[in-house]
Amino acid sequence: AQKVTQAQTEISVVEKEDVTLDCVYETRDTTYYLFWYKQPPSGELVFLIRRNSFDEQNEISGRYSWNFQKSTSSFNFTITASQVVDSAVYFCALSEARGGSEKLVFGKGTKLTVNP
């Protein structure tokens, strides 16, 4: 069965600090997709990134970067020079690529608070 674990329930940092949010996943499939979503206090889920299981290249988008390592089944998310606006709950999710419902399995989320 698929499972996503976000061991960090809450993280608090001071503005401009770098912060890494951990995500570990379990799946029996060789083809799958990993996602990160941001949920600000307004509640709406904001799509950040999708990565397929065959692409282990790290990705950088502005202050955001993602480190995908199949060997450790991890897909960690780093925010560089954090800002107060980064305060939100961040969810990691996993989806199988083959047939079925293509549903997302979510971790429990990490609440990030960036203090000024």
Residue 95 sits in the site that holds another protein (CB under 8 A): yes
Residue 108 sits in the site that holds another protein (CB under 8 A): yes
Of the candidates 41, 42, 57, 62, which one interacts with another protein according to CB under 8 A? 42
List CB contacts of 97: < 8 A, sequence separation 6 or more: 29, 31, 32, 33, 52, 53
Number of H helices, E strands in the chain: 0, 12
**With CB under 8 A, what is the number of residues at the site for another protein?**
25
* Residue 80 near residue 13 (C-beta atoms within 8 A): no
Nearest residue (CB) to another protein, 1 versus 116 = 1
CB of 16 to another protein, least distance (A): 28
**Secondary structure letter of residue 43 according to DSSP:** -
Interface residue list for another protein (CB under 8 A): 33, 35, 37, 42-45, 47, 49-50, 52, 91, 93, 95, 97, 100-109
